[in-house]
Structure 1
Amino acid sequence: MPDSQENTPFQTPTQDEIVELTKMHIGALESSNDDLVWIAAGMSHVLLTIIGRKSGVERKTPLPYWRDTTGQRIVVASFAGAEKNPSWFHNLADKVANPTIVVRERDFVYQSDAEVLDGDDYVSTWAALTTDRPFYNNYQAKTTRRIPLIRLPEPQQS
């Protein structure tokens, strides 16, 4: 598991680079279980499969995740501090199109009822996240929107 990133500098890609890197990253994630692919820039990644809310087309999005104090995966809709939320977030937040999403981490795949955080849960999670990954504060400073946090809970075992 990756170490804390509290003191690790992070090179933020441009929005154009994000789009191109995403395409390459999807192909790599789908063809390998190697650490070099699933841990990028010191961060573990998941591959989300989300249905487009307008198109109905399956979309895949690789994202770094962080674990909250309960061990749940948290992804951040930062889009490197862009003024608008990334498209994947709008699709994920549409519960008609996506009552659940598919989360993949290497060979582990599950259906998740993704939760967009708000209130005290958002505040405490953001504080813990940015203590570990302070570059997210830089992204927040670049935009007027509140950067969404999404919890990806695993199904409960019965």
Structure 2
Amino acid sequence: MSTPGYQAPDLVLVGPEHVRRYRETDGEVGYEWNGVRILLLTTTGRRTGEPRTSALIFAQDGDDYLVVASQGGAPQHPNWYHNLLATPEAEIQVRAERLTVRATTATEAEKPRLWEIVTKVWPNYDTYQSRTRRPIPVVVLSPV
């Protein structure tokens, strides 16, 4: 079924392969994906304590990086979001630059403004929200 305004992404580079290629090339491969910019987010696994890395679309709001816990509109939040709730300190890689960040979830008051920023970058977020009953969080990653 097609949703108006939805653009199916090219999924040639996804998951662990995306992370591996991004790291190996400092983002020469993987920073740009389907016309958007990607960062690598490394969280601490809430059960294992092990580092877990995800390649995520991002937007910026001043010095802050914005990522969206959409999981394509799945009924549950992505694991990386649960990891950030347990341990908000994380690392991001943007091209070759690595930064320590602290994650916060946008409040109800902040979210409309930030949602507008992220949907300008990736309009599919509106489609993802229509696929699920859960409110999709916008996560603010602030450099520390």
TM-score (norm 1): 0.79
For 2:46 and 2:109, the matched residues in 1 are separated by 28
Alignment of 1:44-123 (within 5 A): 44-68=37-61, 70-94=62-86, 98-123=87-112
The answer to whether the aligner puts 1:136 opposite 2:125 as a matched pair is yes
Kindly provide the CA deviation profile for residues 61-107 of structure 1, in whole angstroms up to 9, marking residues without a partner as x: 11110123x3521001100000110111100111xxx2410111122
Bigger strand fraction: 2
Assess if the C-alpha contact under 8 Å between 2:32 and 2:38 holds in 1: yes
Kindly provide the CA deviation profile for residues 119-150 of structure 1, in whole angstroms up to 9, marking residues without a partner as x: 21112211333244321110000000000111
CA distance 1:36–1:99, change in 2 (3 Å): closer
Assess if the C-alpha contact under 8 Å between 1:77 and 1:148 holds in 2: yes
Sequence identity, in percent? 26
Point out 4+ residue stretches in structure 1 off by more than 6 angstroms.
none
CA distance 1:115–1:102, change in 2 (3 Å): same
Give the length in aligned residue pairs: 140
Match of 1:11 in 2: 8
Unaligned runs of 5+ in 2: none
Assess if the C-alpha contact under 8 Å between 1:47 and 1:63 holds in 2: yes
Give the secondary-structure state (helix, strand or coil) at the position aligned to 1:90.
Answer: helix
Kindly provide the CA deviation profile for residues 22-66 of structure 1, in whole angstroms up to 9, marking residues without a partner as x: 111011111013544211111111111111111111111111101
For 2:36 and 2:137, the matched residues in 1 are separated by 18
For 1:144 and 1:71, the matched residues in 2 are separated by 31
The amino acid of 2:133's aligned partner reads T
For 1:148 and 1:123, the matched residues in 2 are separated by 11
For 1:30 and 1:50, the matched residues in 2 are separated by 15
TM-score (norm 2): 0.86
Unaligned runs of 5+ in 1: 1-7
Pairwise CA distance, 1:116: 1.0
Assess if the C-alpha contact under 8 Å between 2:6 and 2:123 holds in 1: no
